[in-house]
């Protein structure tokens, strides 16, 4: 399962980087979204993958799921949500102000 | 627990929230509230200077959760130095904004306070993930401030600024995640302890995380080759915001100094002095690029933005020397360059207002109103920026060269700093002669007398910022003493670790 998750994070990051380098604002926004998904997943698995364990130590269980990455990822999700919303609005504003959706505001000749 | 430590974070947050509740037409109340909050922050920062000047490090555990389990705020000499610089700068930037900028959009005042909330928090926090959160707060506020007032070029520059910073935040999270995954902690003092004893099989990952973090901070500090976002963003935003952003690049420099003396410093065992081979060459190259950009600029504000890059280069050369004298010089140079470049941004705006359609384009234009006043101010600012005697810029560069004397890279530092000083001087002298000497008489129709008259809100911040540089020149000795003891404190991270973790080590 570790390999599967690792490959998934890698693919998500690669897609994100590729889309970020595109020249239209919409793919760039999508790319940033992919990157934030990748990093959220990455943060989440940094607490190691365990199945069916409680996130708090109780008397009966010997192992536990690390709760800190879950808290971190919650914060990161909220922040990346806000940022994505902001960048979408900004991309729309740029579309209106600059007359097109090229990231540099000009159509190539 | 000393509650004074958290106040620089709480005051702007509360002020920002209150400002959001006020109606748009209550500008006078908004200004009063903002100014009150700024003055309170300055007072608190100065009080903190007095508190930490005994050499103690104060720790504030939020919710009384002891480190490393809870988040801590830490006030040491470096933190308080940054807080005071920010507070002084923000007051003057805000006074200039009261001239007209703050009425161009609804939430300028609230965003301004939230920006300070983010900045103060980033300086105070002792937790790596919390640093990320404060970075995001200050960035989100800065996006709003950057775009404040609107306009085509501003939107374009803003889009680039936002996208590159979002990519930077992603890198930051990857680095933080890697560190947590290996070392199991995010508290900086605890990280410093655990890095030193990391097993060899995990060492490459710890080093990779450290270098990723360096990439993030280099992006914030606009270090070569990650500086390309800065010139357009700073040149096209409104003047008070550009002046306030003079501290933003210093946040990156602060983080580099903090992380790479504390976590990856001398005592970090196998990961010690991680960025030593990278920082100095990159900083030297940044300085060269900065002054070349300044020489080639066709607009005064773009030139100022390139000079900000050059000053980041100089600052990080000082930090890159990795010695007590080097760091102390950098800490002396930091407020100087922040105030001087902020003053130049404000002055550029004041001059541009008086040149009608020419604005800040560096071509012969009409005679501006009160040329002696603005010419004199420009000359003083140029002397500060180029590092000529007798003002603080010269002292900073002189001490930088003296600190580099026994460093193996001395020839490089000497050559780059001196030649770039000359180039900056040429660039600013050319600007000065274009703006004030090679002028033709103003045509009668673009004489609008009420714009031309310099008013208090315009002059006071510029004169005030230059006055602060004068203070740094005249009282250089006590300032340098403080900087020296700060550098010493940074190079002995044991005290920091002990203060945060207390009996647990």
Q: What gap in Å lies between CA A102 and CA B384, rounded to an integer?
A: 40
Q: What gap in Å lies between CA B155 and CA B409, rounded to an integer?
A: 42
Q: Which residues contact B100 (CB under 8 A, 6 or more apart)?
A: none
Alpha helix segments (H runs only) across B22-151: 27-52, 77-97, 108-124, 128-147
Closest CA to B473 of B314, B347, B339, B345: B339
Contact residues, chain B, for A107 at CB < 8 Å: none
Contact residues, chain B, for A69 at CB < 8 Å: 177, 180
Domain ranges, ordered by start, for chain A: 2-48+65-98
**Between A20, A32, A86, which is nearest B140 by CB?**
A86
Does a structural domain hold residue B499?
no
Look at residue B442 in the predicted model and tell me its pLDDT: 61
How many Cβ atoms sit within 10 Å of the Cβ of residue B107? 17
Best mutation target, B164, B166, B171, B179, to test chain A (most A CBs within 10 A): B166
Please enumerate residues of B whose Cβ is less than 8 A from a Cβ of A.
129, 133, 136, 140, 143, 147, 150-152, 155-156, 158-160, 162-163, 166-167, 169-170, 173-174, 176-178, 180-181, 186
Contact B129 A46 (CB under 8 A): no
Give the mean pLDDT of chain A.
Answer: 88
What ipTM describes this predicted complex? Answer: 0.93
Residues 3-62, chain A, touching B (beta carbon < 8 A): 16, 20, 25, 28, 32, 35-36, 38-39, 42-43, 46-48
Number of domains in chain B: 1
pLDDT band at A95 (very low <50, low <70, confident <90, very high): confident
Contact residues, chain A, for B173 at CB < 8 Å: 39, 42-43, 76
How many Cβ atoms sit within 10 Å of the Cβ of residue B495? 15
Contact B177 A39 (CB under 8 A): yes
Contact residues, chain B, for A32 at CB < 8 Å: 163, 166-167, 170
Contact residues, chain B, for A75 at CB < 8 Å: 129, 133
Tokens (6 digits) for B322: 């990795």
Contact residues, chain A, for B166 at CB < 8 Å: 32, 35-36, 83, 87
Q: What gap in Å lies between CA B134 and CA B296, rounded to an integer?
A: 36
Does a structural domain hold residue B298?
yes
Distances in whole angstroms, Cα of residue A15 to Cα of each of A81, B173, B333, B340, B470: 19, 18, 42, 43, 52
Contact B81, B486 (CB under 8 A): yes
State the residue range of the domain holding B468: 276-474
Q: What gap in Å lies between CA B297 and CA B94, rounded to an integer?
A: 27
Q: Residue B419: in which H helix or E strand, if any?
A: helix B410-436
Give the residues of chain B that fall short of pLDDT 70: 1, 441-452, 503-505
Q: What gap in Å lies between CA B233 and CA B158, rounded to an integer?
A: 6
Q: Which residues contact B445 (CB under 8 A, 6 or more apart)?
A: none
Contact B155 A93 (CB under 8 A): yes
Does a structural domain hold residue B436?
yes
Contact residues, chain A, for B136 at CB < 8 Å: 79, 83
CA distance A12 to chain B (A): 13
Contact B158 A39 (CB under 8 A): no
3-state percent breakdown (helix, strand, coil) of chain B, nearest 5: 75, 5, 20
Q: What residue in B sits closest to A44 (Cα-Cα)?
A: B177
**Between A35, A38, A97, which is nearest B155 by CB?**
A97
Contact A86 B162 (CB under 8 A): yes
Contact B197, B505 (CB under 8 A): no
pLDDT band at A99 (very low <50, low <70, confident <90, very high): confident
Tokens (6 digits) for B424: 């900056």
Contact B178 A46 (CB under 8 A): yes
Does a structural domain hold residue B500?
no
Contact residues, chain A, for B143 at CB < 8 Å: 86, 90
Contact residues, chain A, for B180 at CB < 8 Å: 43, 46, 68-69, 72
Contact B133, A75 (CB under 8 A): yes
> How many helical (H) and strand (E) elements, i.e. helices and strands, does chain A have?
3, 0
* Helix-helix angle A2-20:A25-45, to 10 degrees: 160
Look at residue B443 in the predicted model and tell me its pLDDT: 57
Look at residue B451 in the predicted model and tell me its pLDDT: 57
């Amino acid at each position: 399962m570790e390999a599967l998750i690792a490959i998934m994070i890698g693919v998500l990051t690669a897609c994100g980087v590729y889309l970020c380098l595109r020249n239209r604002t919409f793919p760039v926004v999508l790319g940033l979204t992919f990157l934030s998904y990748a990093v959220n997943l990455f943060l989440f698995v940094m607490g190691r993958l365990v199945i069916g364990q409680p996130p708090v130590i109780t008397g009966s269980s010997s192992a536990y799921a690390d709760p800190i990455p879950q808290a971190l990822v919650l914060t990161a999700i909220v922040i990346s949500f806000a940022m994505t919303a902001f960048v979408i609005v900004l991309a729309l504003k740029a579309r209106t102000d600059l007359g097109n959706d090229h990231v540099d505001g000009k159509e190539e000749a | 627990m000393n509650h004074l430590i958290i106040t620089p974070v709480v005051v702007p947050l509360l002020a920002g929230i209150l400002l959001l509740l006020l109606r748009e037409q209550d500008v006078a109340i908004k200004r009063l509230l903002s100014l009150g909050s700024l003055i309170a922050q300055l007072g608190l920062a100065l009080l903190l200077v007095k508190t930490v000047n005994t050499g103690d490090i104060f720790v504030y555990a939020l919710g009384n959760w002891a480190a490393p389990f809870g988040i801590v705020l830490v006030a040491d000499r470096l933190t308080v130095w940054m807080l005071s610089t920010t507070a002084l700068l923000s007051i003057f930037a805000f006074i200039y904004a009261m001239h007209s900028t703050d009425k161009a959009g609804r939430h300028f005042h609230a965003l301004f306070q939230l920006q300070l909330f983010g900045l103060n928090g980033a300086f105070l926090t002792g937790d790596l993930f919390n640093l990320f959160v404060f970075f995001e707060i200050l960035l989100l506020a800065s996006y709003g401030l950057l775009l404040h007032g609107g306009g085509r070029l501003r939107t374009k520059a803003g889009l680039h600024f936002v996208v590159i910073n979002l990519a930077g935040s992603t890198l930051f999270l990857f680095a933080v995640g890697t560190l947590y995954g290996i070392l199991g902690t995010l508290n900086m003092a605890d990280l410093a302890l655990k890095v030193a004893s990391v097993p060899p099989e995990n060492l490459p990952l710890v080093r990779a995380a450290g270098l990723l973090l360096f990439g993030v901070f280099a992006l914030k500090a606009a270090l070569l080759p990650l500086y390309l976002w800065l010139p357009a963003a700073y040149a096209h935003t409104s003047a008070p915001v550009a002046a306030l952003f003079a501290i933003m690049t210093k946040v990156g420099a602060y983080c580099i100094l903090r992380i790479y003396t504390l976590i990856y410093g001398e005592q970090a065992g196998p990961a010690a002095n991680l960025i030593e081979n990278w920082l100095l060459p990159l900083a030297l190259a940044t300085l060269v690029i900065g002054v070349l950009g300044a020489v080639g600029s066709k607009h005064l504000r773009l030139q100022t933005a390139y000079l900000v890059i050059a000053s980041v280069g100089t600052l990080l050369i000082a930090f890159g020397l990795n010695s007590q004298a080097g760091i102390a010089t950098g800490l002396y140079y930091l407020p100087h360059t922040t105030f001087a470049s902020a003053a130049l941004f404000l002055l550029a705006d004041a001059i541009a207002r008086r040149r009608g359609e020419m604005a800040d384009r560096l071509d012969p234009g009409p005679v501006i109103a009160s040329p002696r006043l603005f010419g004199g101010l420009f000359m003083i600012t140029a002397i500060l920026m180029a590092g000529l005697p007798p003002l603080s810029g010269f002292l900073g560069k002189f001490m930088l060269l003296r600190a580099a004397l026994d460093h193996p890279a001395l020839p490089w530092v000497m050559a780059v700093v001196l030649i770039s000083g000359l180039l900056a001087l040429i660039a600013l002298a050319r600007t000065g002669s274009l703006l004030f000497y090679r002028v033709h008489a103003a045509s009668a129709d673009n004489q609008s007398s009420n714009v031309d008259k310099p008013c208090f809100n315009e002059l006071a911040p510029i004169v005030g910022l230059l006055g602060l540089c004068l203070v740094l020149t005249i009282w250089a000795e006590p300032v340098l003493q403080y900087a020296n003891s700060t550098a010493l404190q940074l190079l002995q991270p044991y005290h920091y670790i002990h203060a945060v973790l207390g009996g647990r080590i």
